[in-house]
Amino acid sequence: MKEQKWIHEGLITDSLPNGMFRVRLDNEDLVLGYVSGKIRRSFIRILPGDKVKIEVSRYDSTRGRIIYRLRNKDSKD
């Protein structure tokens, strides 16, 4: 059986080296997130201030995988 994961929405607060980001979840938790391969392959830019969906493991709730960048109302994408 596959590992169950929680999906949260959060805000990118810091950009770290090697495609890692610090994400503040909606419940105020800080998570270390890395970019999923699908986002990396599509050359989607993630910058501090972006809203993202992040998949967090139930076993280690301090790390997660960024799986989607939500669209901002004020940007032109």
Q: What is the pLDDT of residue 76?
A: 56
Confidence band of 72 (pLDDT split at 50, 70, 90): confident
In a domain, 40, yes or no: yes
Which pair of structure tokens corresponds to residue 14? 């810091």
Q: What's the length of the chain?
A: 77
Q: How many domains does the chain have?
A: 1
In a domain, 27, yes or no: yes
- 35 forms beta bridges with 66
Range of the domain at 27: 6-69
> For the residues 32-59, what does the mean pLDDT come to?
93
Beta carbons of 34 and 21 less than 8 angstroms apart: yes
Residue ranges in 1-77 assigned as alpha helix (H): 37-41
In a domain, 77, yes or no: no
pLDDT of 75 over the 60 cut: no
**CATH number, domain with residue 43:** 2.40.50.140
